[in-house]
Structure 1
Amino acid sequence: MNLTKHITLKHLLINNQKMIGLQFYPDKVIQALIKELPNPKWSREFAMVYIIHTKENLNQVFEKFRGVAWINGNSFFKEKVIRDNEPVDVNRYRNRTKTASYKYVPEAYLLKLELKRYALNTCNIYISLFEKFINQYPNKDILELSEQEIRAYLQLLIHQNKSNSYINQTINSIKFYYEVVMGMPNRFYSIERPRKQQKLPQVISKEEILSMIEHTNNIKHRCIISMLYSAGLRRSELLDLQLEDIDSKRMLVFIRNAKNNKDRYSLLSETVLKDLRVYYKQWKPKKYLFEGVLGQKYSVESIAKIVRRAGEKACIRRRITPHILRHSFATHLLENGTDLRYIQTLLGHSSTKTTEIYTQVAVNNFKSIRNPLDL
């Protein structure tokens, strides 16, 4: 069945009541059938027809237009996948010493973050950015804030020269409250996001990485830097590694519950395996591969500090981060002739388009090109 007419469903909140918005191009057939729906009304603010959001009304929409128009409910029914992370502890936000002059994130916000099992880093970012937003309007109830006031706040961030990433994360933290916590999906679907910037990954040479490893005397720190590079790990993936994830027989590293809730395997270096065995005998970790003094999981700040200090000792001029080691892993594989699809698998990318960015920084692509000044 080839349906040329289509209707897009939108979540609307009008007078604090959930509505089903129906967005479509002007069409006499659709308009006639819309009038047969239960009490349809026109919203000047959203520029679309709407009806009250009930299960019965939603079923009527599908029944009414069956065989007549295609119903696009992609954004209407979309639900964020719950990651199977460990339970997130946000009690430190609950137990803060509170002052009357500051607006704190609602308890429902904290509870939903816990129930959704968002990564701890995401929780910290959302809470921080959402509190900055609501404190911009200290005398207004959160539910009374309009799209215009959100836009005004985003414009303020632009004037403060905040990055596109910062602004996008701010929008996510705001939408999380209205759409996920309060159950108003796509209430602010028309809020404009900054255009994505395509920044090339920062990469260092293999010689510089070897120098970083050589300048790290602590065996645990040496293994951390080596693992980040040799397996192309994200910082969070390194922290989540457990002892049984190191498969020395198959020379693989098992990465569980990585980004987008995916498991994958990556490479285990023979050189790193030797260091890991020395490290294990000295430190005897119980559960996680890298643990703190009291057996708890290492912190993200500690990993960043270890990598940064190693870069400084190796006299690398730029500031080195764990992700630069991951970028370098992918780029060096590509320069050595590894198929892009294998690199995609090792990195855990969902699409080759994400991995293709490394073709722009792999130097072997440029070595065959003669500079016109030298011709």
Structure 2
Amino acid sequence: MEKIIVKPLYHREQECIGIYFENQTKINGALRKHTNARWSQTNKCWYLPLNKEAYNKIAFAMRGLAEIDNAALRQYLLEKKKKGMEAESKATKVLPAKNNPTPAKWINQRTVVYKGAGISLVNAHVLPAMEQRLKLKAYSRSTMKTYLNEMSQLLQVLKDISADELTPAHLKRYLVYCYEKLHLKENTLHSRINAMKFYYEQVLGREKFFWDIPRPKKPLLLPRLLNETEIAKLFNALTNKKHKAMLFTAYSSGLRVSEVATLKLKDIDSQRMQILISRAKGKKDRYVNLSPVLLDILRNYIKGSKPRPTEYLFESDQTNTAYPVRTIQQIFSTAKDKAGIKKDVGIHSLRHSFATHLLEKGTDIRYIKDLLGHFDIRTTERYLHVSKKQLVNIVSPFDDLWKKEAIDW
């Protein structure tokens, strides 16, 4: 019989049970089915909250599959019990329920820590209230993380000053400080303004609070892309079939890396030759074309996979869940280095390249907008500035002078 080891694990600011074992498909499946355990890429293990109910779920899931070695966990709990509850209560005392939907931890009598940020008690309610409102409005996890992080930066600067008492004049001075002293870029300043605007207008209900606060002008940055020769070199630098299939899919359909990671087998419609992109950026569904060549490649990849994917098109061998976005980004970076490509580009350049190459082949920009899932045609029009289709037909006036022999070298 197989053996698993359960150990104490401190992960994401909470006590957990870490579950360690040699990679086994049956054990992975049992944990996913019966325990709701999550995989930690950092610690290379499954984990659950440290409580009796979670341990019982593990024991139930492993019946007949594996023995449980809990010696390390038992030792930890015994030592914790011996130390008594006094030290524990100082470290984890929960704030009063008023204006605090999510628990925070004391780090001293004047400061609490919330999601890793040390916040003064006078502002202890801000981030929990903001998080609750974001959840009620069904904001994406990415947006929630950005807004909470940006707001926490303000709260850490304020220290014992109440955020709720700030005026637009105070916030203007803070934004000048962010620009001049912290040297924040325009895009970061926009994110910080959006976060503060959400708190003061959506949480505190102060209408038009930001009307008098100007936004910094964003720079017009052109998409960075690879030419067709570079893309061929990039693909040929890979030998792993799954890794190749991932990058082929990203370029062939112009997908974001998060869309590649969350593609499911059921999203591939080989009858209509379409791929369904579900709840992409802006929670918007769209269809993109399924290339016949890509379809053959995907079929070949699945046929040769052991074990074969069961839900997601690209599944992690460790967890049998969606491939981590960061891992796909690393696959691209490794291939770029092997191919000797010096351009400062990431995997998103495959999406940019897809759009630009379509434009150069004569595809109507309105169709490209729909394929990319852009809300505004002006976003897609950026590719007009990097397409060489029209530029190659423009003759420099310098060339005319040279041809007329009006100048010499």
Does structure 2 retain, via aligned residues, the 8 Å contact 1:308–1:319?
no
Distance in 2 between the 1:114 and 1:172 partners? Answer: 16
Instruction: Report deviation, 1:287.
Output: 1.9
Count of residues in Structure 1 that have an aligned counterpart in Structure 2: 285
Q: Does 1:342 align with 2:331?
A: no
User: Taking structure 1 as reference, are residues 324 and 95 closer, same or farther at Cα in structure 2, changes over 3 Å only?
Assistant: farther
For the pair 1:179 / 2:172, whether they are aligned, the reply is no
Deviations 1:234-273 (A, max 9, x none): 2222223211111122221111222233221112222322
Q: 1:330 aligns with which of 332, 336, 355?
A: 355
Task: Decide whether aligned partners of structure 1 residues 312 and 185 sit closer, same or farther in structure 2, where only a CA change above 3 A counts.
Answer: farther
Partner of residue 24, structure 1: none
2:387 aligns with one of 352, 362, 373? 362
Q: 1:168 to 1:291 in 2, by over 3 A?
A: same
For the 8 Å contact 1:219–1:275, the answer to whether it is kept is no
Alpha-carbon distance in 2 for matches of 1:211, 1:315 = 8
User: Equivalent residues in 2 for 1:126-205 (5 A)?
Assistant: 126-159=147-180, 160-205=182-227
- Flag structure 2 segments of 5+ consecutive residues without an equivalent: 1-47, 50-101, 112-117, 401-409
Which residues of 2 match residues 262-277 of structure 1 at below 5 A? 262-277=284-299
Structure 1 spans left out of the alignment, 5+ residues: 1-90
Q: If the length of structure 2 is used for normalisation, what is the TM-score? A: 0.65
Q: How does 1:1-375 map to 2 (within 5 A)?
A: 99-100=107-108, 101=111, 102-103=118-119, 106-159=127-180, 160-281=182-303, 282=305, 283-292=307-316, 293-375=318-400
**Aligned-pair CA distance for 1:98:** 5.5
**Whole-angstrom CA distance in 2 between matches of 1:278 and 1:161:** 50
> Percent same amino acid at aligned positions?
37
C-alpha separation in 1, matches of 2:106 and 2:268: 45
**Residue type matched to 1:99 in 2?**
I
SS in 2 for 1:253: strand
Q: Check 1:239–1:119 CA distance in 2 against 1; reply closer, same or farther (3 A cut).
A: farther
Alpha-carbon distance in structure 1 between the residues aligned to 2:387 and 2:104: 48
Q: Distance in 2 between matches of 1:96 and 1:237?
A: 34
TM-score by length of 1: 0.70
> 1:42 is matched with which residue?
none
Conserved 8 A contact 1:136-1:153: no
Distance, in Å, in 2 between the alignment partners of 1:196 and 1:156 is 18
Q: Evaluate the alpha carbon distance shift between residue 296 and residue 178 of structure 1 in structure 2; reply closer, same or farther with a 3 A threshold.
A: farther
**Structure 2 SS opposite 1:359:** helix
Quote the Cα distance in structure 2 between the aligned partners of 1:99 and 1:298. Answer: 36
CA contact (8 A) 2:225 2:345 kept: no
Q: Secondary structure at the match of 2:249?
A: helix
Aligned-pair Cα RMSD in Å: 2.3
Separation in 2 of the partners of 1:215 and 1:357? 29
SS of match in other structure, 1:135: helix
Alignment partners' CA distance in 2, 1:97 and 1:143: 21
Letter in 2 for 1:342: Y
User: Conserved in 1, the CA contact under 8 Å of 2:127 and 2:152?
Assistant: no
1:95 and 1:322, CA in 2 relative to 1: closer, same or farther beyond 3 A?
farther
Q: What is the alpha-carbon distance in structure 1 between the residues aligned to residue 380 and residue 189 of structure 2?
A: 25
Report SS of the residue matched to 1:125. Answer: helix
SS in 2 for 1:207: helix
Residue 28 of structure 2 is matched in structure 1 by none
Q: How far is 1:355 from its partner?
A: 1.5
Change (3 A) 1:98 1:219: farther
Partner of 1:14: none
Closer/same/farther in 2, CA of residues 306 and 115 from structure 1, 3 Å limit: farther
- 1:207 CA displacement: 1.6
Task: Give 3-state SS (helix, strand or coil) of 2:282's partner.
Answer: helix
Distance 2:346 2:339 in 1: 14
Asked if 1 retains the 8 angstrom alpha-carbon contact of 2:127 and 2:148, the reply is no
CA distance in 2, matches of 1:339, 1:186: 40
SS at match of 2:287: strand
Shift of 1:97: 6.2
| Aligned-partner SS, 2:353 | helix
Q: CA deviation at 1:165?
A: 0.3
* Distance in 2 (alpha carbons) for counterparts of 1:140 and 1:202: 43
Deviation at 1:112, TM superposition (A): 2.1
